[in-house]
Structure 1
Amino acid sequence: MRDRPVQPSNAALAARLRELADLLTQQGADGFRVAAWRRGAEIVDGLDRPVAEILAQQGRDGLVILPGIGYGIAAALAEMVTTGHWAQLDRLRGTGEPGRLFRTIPGIGPELARRLCEGLPIESLEALEIAASDGSLDRVAGIGPRRAQMIRAVLAERLGRPRLRQRRDGQEHPSVGLLLDVDREYRQKAAAGALRTIAPRRFNPAGRAWLPILHTGRGPWQFTALFSNTALAHELQRTGDWVVIYYHCDGLPEGQCTVVTETRGALAGRRVVRGREAEGDTLAQSA
């Protein structure tokens, strides 16, 4: 059985929250978003109980009820305490390696972790939680009913026995039009050299800062967009076309999608949100 990670202290957790806020500032994120992470760090630093103890006794909801700790910060703390990693921070650092995170789950070895990343694709425990709930996980080769149930049970424990919430307006994902608008903003600013770039560790032996990153908002939604830095994107030479968009709205887990230029059928040459092509949208645009 894999060893559980050493549980970080509240001071160490707060330091990571502050590091995320610093990176968001450097990468041009909205000041309100940065302030929320800094406020969360102050709350964690001032707690008279370890975050790990709160999670063990009350689950993630025990953190959400604290002033200044919303669903997003609570999910981040749960991931750090139970896995020793934080996918969102690794992403902004350029050190993300989702396969490593998934291998911390019993029953997921290197090959299955690779299939999860390439087949869904997902990069965080939050995204894996969503895939396990909506049936996407069951379509990955090597995931039978028993293994899927085991993964769901482990995620429920590690993420603090979460109860997936639904927004009051019933909208659990940004609209296709909204995602395409973020994709348009990202590609235009990347082409103009108007975005900060990071140096991803994967597939970048020279350590070059080539990957533009965008943080932006639309109403209640917060978005982070980057070109895909997966093995498949490099193999097919689509690193300048495939755009991965991460999105979050308070009260919901972080989600992600990939926007690509369609190469076949009636939508050939158009930008589409992979997996949501059938929804269509009047804002769909040519590549």
Structure 2
Amino acid sequence: MINKEVSDRLREIARLLEDQGANPFRSTAYLRAAVTVDELDRPVSEIVEQEGIDGLTELPGIGSGIARSICEYATTGRMSRLDSLKTGHDPIELFEQIPGIGPTLAHRLLETLHIDTLEELEMAAHDGRLAAVPGFSRNKTEMIQAWLDRILGYRRPRKKTQAPTVEVPIELLLEIDYLYLTKADEEELPKIAPKRFNPSGEAWLPIMHKTRNGWHFTALYSNTPRAHQLNRIKDWVVIYFYDDQHHEGQYTVVTETKGLLQGKRVVRGRERECREFYARRSSGLGAGQS
């Protein structure tokens, strides 16, 4: 049954991507992975348990991004990527599934570290930021690290040499941000109905899929408690990215409220590159959006 559940969800992701106008490559990738799962002679949960993410990526048609989604489902019974495409990402609900994290700590993660994915939480756990959040003792942090190792498929040593981290160029992220804000403002995008802060179930959250320079992007407003609290719902834009070599991740773009970049669109975590980008543009050496 687990294989059918996984393949059904992969097909649902493919359908949603197609309905929302995403690049056909992405929906095809999920369909191909669904066929692979259907043809397995053992449960995917067994592969995750015994071989981790490497066991999945060695299967035909399954890259690291889809493998992470399968690992997540095998461990928690949900796929964050599917949730994002259907009703908007719900990081509180996601974090609450982690042993030792309840509603209070889940909200604290968002408000203190501004993170909303398991991958970002893993980085925070390993670089020391998580330990600085009230309520996260050393023992709790180590427990969360162990749980994330399991769900993200990192329990076992890598069999393959890891490719270097690939970053989306800053000017490309700002271009996607500009396109999303413009099209959302002009009511040119399909809308989804987020689960959170939406008691009427209204489909109000615009979602945009776009392909540029070999990268496939999904952009939507941030629907987090912090964004609502600061009245930044239609300012903070979350951009998910994915390429044909299975590099993936996400960034949040905001309007800076202080310092040299005040009033400009800035990619969180890449402020230095944003300063350099705007400096080049002001000197006539580059182009982009403000």
Contact 1:30 1:215 in 2 (8 A): yes
TM-score normalized by the length of structure 2:
0.87
2:105 maps to 1:101: no
Instruction: Tell me which residue corresponds to 1:4.
Output: none
Q: What are the superposed Cα offsets for residues 28-75 of structure 1, whole Å, 9 maximum, x if unpaired?
A: 100011100011111101111100111111111011001111111111
Q: Deviations over 1:119-170 (max 9, x none)?
A: 23233323322333444433433223332222111111122226689874x4
Q: AA paired with 1:181?
A: E
Which of 170, 195, 212 is matched with 1:176 structurally? 170
What are the equivalent positions in structure 2 for 1:11-22 lying under 5 Å apart?
11-22=4-15
Q: Distance in 1 between matches of 2:288 and 2:213?
A: 20
Return the alpha-carbon distance in structure 2 between the equivalents of residues 253 and 156 of structure 1: 19
Pick from 189, 199, 203: which aligns with 1:205? 199
Task: Report which stretch shifted further, 63-72 or 220-229.
Answer: 220-229
Percentage of pairs with the same residue: 51
Give distance in 1, aligned partners of 2:28 and 2:272. 38
SS of residue paired to 2:12: helix
Alignment of 1:147-226 (within 5 A): 147-161=140-154, 168=163, 170-226=164-220
For 1:79 and 1:267, how far apart are their aligned partners in 2? 37
Secondary structure at 2:260 match in 1: helix
Counterpart of 1:207, as a letter, is G
* Letter aligned with residue 201 of structure 1: K
Aligned AA (2:133): V
Of 150-159 and 117-126, deviating more is 117-126
Task: Tell me the alpha carbon deviations over residues 59-115 of structure 1, each in whole angstroms, 9 at most, x when there is no partner.
Answer: 110110011111111111000010111111111111542222212222212211111
Bigger CA drift: 252-261 or 188-197?
Answer: 252-261
- In structure 2, how many angstroms separate the alpha carbons of the residues matched to 1:125 and 1:116? 11
**What is the count of residue pairs matched by the alignment?**
278
Q: Secondary structure at the match of 1:92?
A: helix
Shift of 1:185: 1.4
- Residues 251 and 167 of structure 1, relative CA distance in 2, 3 Å threshold: farther
Residue 68 of structure 1 is matched in structure 2 by: 61
Separation of aligned partners in 1, 2:58 and 2:82: 23
Partner of 1:242: 236
In structure 2, stretches of 5+ residues that fail to align are 281-286
Report if the CA contact (8 A) 2:3-2:44 is conserved: yes
Query: What is the root-mean-square deviation in Å for CA atoms of aligned residues?
Result: 2.3
Q: For 2:264 and 2:64, how far apart are their aligned partners in 1?
A: 35
TM-score of the aligned structures, taking structure 1 as reference length:
0.88
Q: 1:134 to 1:285 in 2, by over 3 A?
A: farther
Which amino acid in structure 1 is aligned with residue 229 of structure 2? E
In the alignment, the residues of structure 2 paired with residue 39 and residue 151 of structure 1 have an alpha-carbon distance, to the nearest angstrom, of 33
CA shift at 1:257, angstroms?
A: 1.9
Query: Which position in structure 2 is the counterpart of 1:230?
Result: 224
Q: 1 CA distance for matches of 2:44 and 2:153?
A: 11
Specify the code of the residue in structure 2 equivalent to 1:209.
Answer: A
For residue 121 of structure 1, the aligned residue among 105, 114, 132 is 114
Higher relative contact order (CA 8 A, sep 6+): 1
Of residues 25, 42, 49, the one that matches 2:42 is 49
| Partner in structure 2 of residue 10 of structure 1 | 3
Secondary structure in structure 1 of the residue aligned to 2:187: coil
In structure 2, do the counterparts of structure 1 residues 61 and 250 end up closer, same or farther at CA, with 3 Å as the change threshold? farther
| Structure 1 residue 273 displacement after superposition | 1.1
Alpha-carbon distance between aligned partners in 2 of 1:135 and 1:172, rounded to the nearest angstrom? 23
Structure 1 unmatched runs, 5+: 1-7
| Matched letter for residue 278 of structure 1 | R
Pairwise CA distance, 1:251: 6.3
Q: Quick one: distance in 1 between partners of 2:101 and 2:244?
A: 30
Cα distance in structure 1, aligned partners of 2:218 and 2:91? 17
Distance change >3 Å, CA 166–CA 117, structure 1 → 2? farther
How far 1:172 moved relative to its partner? 3.4
Per-residue deviation at 1:252?
Answer: 6.3
